[in-house]
């Protein structure tokens, strides 16, 4: 069970290159796709779910080439939770899921069993008789995840699943995805670094349509080792100057001073600094800053 993309390109009519020579090999388990808004993540998701076609390159999903001949099969084994979705606002949760199960070709006889199973999986039991418009933003995300899980697809693709939800709901959604990934492929696309750090062993970093990194999370973090510093700036009026010279990941006032977390190839000057262990966020900021620097020449 795998997703293999080779030399994948997508160029839109306005000549915007959303994806350039993307190569990925995604196997069973949880795989993270990390990148800022506009990096090309949603374009890649839409290609994998057959919603749009690539300009060039090839994709193989569970041993089948992604083409017109295999499109219906690939749709049948893929669950998709898009970044933006909507149901008829007056539909109850059960009616939303019944409608989606019909679109997925689930027989009338199996619908109740399928809907009961996904409602329990995503903890919607207390909300299934509520109208969609009455749900909180977080619960609407749960409905979106529930419809993606209908039919227990081999591949689950989720685009920004925790966007706009509170911390408790975010943890709940992460746990649902993690549990499902034991026997399936779960592709988690997000710009929320914590979601990747808490659930994925492997990831790819997508930046302006290019893959900057593809591999294990721990090895990406190693790339930033020795490049992250905790610094104290005594003259806070110079904070703008520091931001111009270095990548500042975080800053906070402590009395009359400012504590900064800085990414730099060399020990920053003009401050009291000491090296600290990098996080995934630090590593992400490090490799994207290198990419930006290379683009500027």
Domain boundary among 189, 216, 243: 216
Answer yes or no: do 232 and 102 share one domain. no
Which three-class secondary structure string do you get for 207-250? ECCEEEEEEEHHHHHHHCCCCEEEEEECCHHHHHHHHHHCEEEE
Answer yes or no: do 27 and 96 share one domain. yes
Answer yes or no: do 194 and 229 share one domain. no
Identify the pLDDT of residue 297. Answer: 64
| CATH number for the domain that contains residue 230 | 3.30.70
Q: How many CB atoms lie within 10 A of CB 162?
A: 22
| CATH number for the domain that contains residue 9 | 3.40.50.300
Q: Kindly list the distances between the CA atom of residue 84 and the CA atoms of 17, 92, 157, in Å, as whole numbers in the listed order.
A: 22, 19, 13
Identify the pLDDT of residue 38. Answer: 85
Structure tokens at 25: 């090999």
Answer yes or no: do 113 and 48 share one domain. yes
Answer yes or no: do 154 and 195 share one domain. yes
Identify the pLDDT of residue 16. Answer: 87
Q: Kindly list the distances between the CA atom of residue 138 and the CA atoms of 164, 171, 203, in Å, as whole numbers in the listed order.
A: 7, 11, 25
Answer yes or no: do 144 and 246 share one domain. no
Q: Domain residues for 164?
A: 2-216
Answer yes or no: do 179 and 275 share one domain. no
Identify the pLDDT of residue 83. Answer: 81
Domain boundary among 171, 201, 216: 216
Cα–Cα distance, 284 to 282 (Å, whole number): 5
Say whether 261 sits in a helix, a strand or coil: strand
Answer yes or no: do 111 and 181 share one domain. yes
Identify the pLDDT of residue 188. Answer: 96
Q: What share of the chain is helix, strand, coil (3-state, %, to 5)?
A: 40, 30, 30
Answer yes or no: do 199 and 269 share one domain. no
Number of domains in the chain: 2
Answer yes or no: do 183 and 264 share one domain. no
pLDDT tens, position by position, for the chain (297 residues)? Answer: 899 999 999 999 888 899 999 999 999 999 999 998 889 999 999 999 999 999 999 999 999 999 999 999 999 999 999 987 778 889 999 999 999 999 999 998 999 999 999 999 998 999 999 999 999 888 899 999 999 999 999 999 999 999 888 888 899 999 999 999 999 999 999 988 999 999 999 999 999 999 999 999 999 999 999 999 999 999 988 999 999 999 999 999 999 999 999 999 999 998 999 999 999 999 999 999 999 888 776
Answer yes or no: do 73 and 150 share one domain. yes
Answer yes or no: do 245 and 109 share one domain. no
Q: How many CB atoms lie within 10 A of CB 208?
A: 18
Domain boundary among 193, 216, 239: 216
């Amino acid at each position: 069970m795998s997703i293999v993309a080779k030399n994948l390109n997508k160029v839109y009519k306005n000549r915007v290159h959303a994806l350039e020579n993307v190569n990925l090999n995604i196997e069973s388990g949880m795989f993270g796709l990390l990148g800022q808004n506009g990096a090309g993540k949603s374009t890649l998701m839409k290609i994998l779910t057959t919603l749009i076609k690539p300009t060039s390159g090839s994709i193989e999903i569970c041993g089948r080439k992604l083409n017109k001949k295999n499109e219906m099969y690939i749709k049948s084994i893929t669950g998709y939770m898009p970044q933006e979705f909507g149901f008829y606002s007056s539909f109850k949760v059960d009616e939303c899921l019944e409608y989606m199960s019909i679109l997925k070709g689930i027989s009338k006889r199996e619908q109740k069993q399928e809907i009961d199973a996904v409602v329990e999986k995503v903890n919607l039991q207390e909300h299934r008789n509520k109208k969609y418009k009455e749900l909180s933003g977080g619960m609407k995300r749960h409905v979106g995840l529930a419809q993606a899980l209908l039919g227990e697809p081999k591949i689950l693709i989720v685009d920004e699943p925790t966007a706009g939800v509170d911390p408790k709901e975010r943890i709940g959604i992460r746990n649902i995805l993690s549990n499902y990934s034991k026997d399936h492929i779960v592709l988690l696309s997000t710009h929320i670094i914590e979601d990747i750090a808490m659930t994925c062993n492997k990831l790819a970093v997508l930046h302006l349509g290019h893959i900057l990194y593809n591999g294990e999370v721990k090895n990406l973090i190693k790339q930033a080792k020795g490049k992250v510093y905790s610094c104290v700036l005594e003259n806070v009026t110079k904070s703008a100057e520091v931001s111009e010279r270095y990548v500042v990941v975080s800053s906070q006032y402590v009395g009359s001073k400012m504590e900064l977390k800085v990414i730099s190839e060399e020990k920053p000057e003009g401050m009291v600094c000491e090296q600290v262990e990098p996080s995934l966020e630090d590593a992400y900021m490090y490799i994207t800053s290198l990419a930006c620097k290379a683009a500027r020449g």
